[in-house]
Copies of this chain bind each other. A is one copy, B any other.
Amino acid sequence: MDNYNTVLLSTPLFTGFTPAGLNTLLQYLKPQIRLYQKGSVALLAGDDTAQIGFVLTGKLNAEKATAAGDMQQFSKLLPGGVFGDVLAGTRQKSPVTITAQENSSVLFLPVAPVLNPQKGAPPELTQFLQNMVANTGKKYFALAQRAEIMALPNLRAKIAEYLLLQAAENGRTFTVPFGRAGLAQYLNCERSALSREIAKMRKEGLIDCYKGSFKLLNL
């Protein structure tokens, strides 16, 4: 029981929890642990689950069928990874399929007793509920911010907006959480084009950078 406590506590849905509080809550919520063999499916696109999955061990993949019919990979889920957290509250069907890429174990937490608390619900439930709502809200705003950046009319604007937002959070010097390839994907542009434009901006004296580290010289 206690061995995966630390994994759960590292999760945004359990921020602010003590190990004891977590245990109390888990006793109430009655989670299930399921094991998946490499290649088996933990969540199928089209399901409407009402459970949140927490990856305890192993590695899973979130995939999505494209219009072309092939499976497009999306994100990897490592221990501490969470899935279904946004979906579980809605009565909607999952847009993604989640498959075990290695033998994995996942803890599933039903949301019904969170959204529809029973007599005997522990006070910790409130914290979890707040975390759930805050978590989804944060994800929404993060996505909205990305959509806004993607919508900008040219590459220079995208880069500038992204860097300015980073600077607003971390000051004029900061390190981005992406490699070039990842940043290109985030900004929705070609990696080569991104390099080109960054080089141009450097030549113009707007920024200074080395790999993931950026310094804004001139806004």
Contacts and interface: CB of A to CB of B under 8 A. Distances in A.
Nearest to A133: B89
Contacts of A90: 133-134, 137-138, 141
A160 B86 CA distance: 27
Interface of A: 67, 86-87, 89-92, 95, 115-117, 126, 129-130, 132-134, 136-141, 143-147, 150-151, 157, 160-161, 164, 188
A137 B130 CA distance: 14
Given A115-B129, A161-B67, A87 B147 contact: no
A86 B139 CA distance: 10
22 contacts: A67-B157, A86-B140, A89-B133, A90-B134, A90-B141, A95-B141, A95-B145, A115-B126, A115-B130, A116-B130, A117-B117, A132-B133, A136-B136, A139-B140, A140-B140, A143-B143, A143-B144, A143-B147, A146-B147, A150-B150, A150-B151, A150-B188
A75 to B, nearest CB: 12
A89 B137 contact: yes
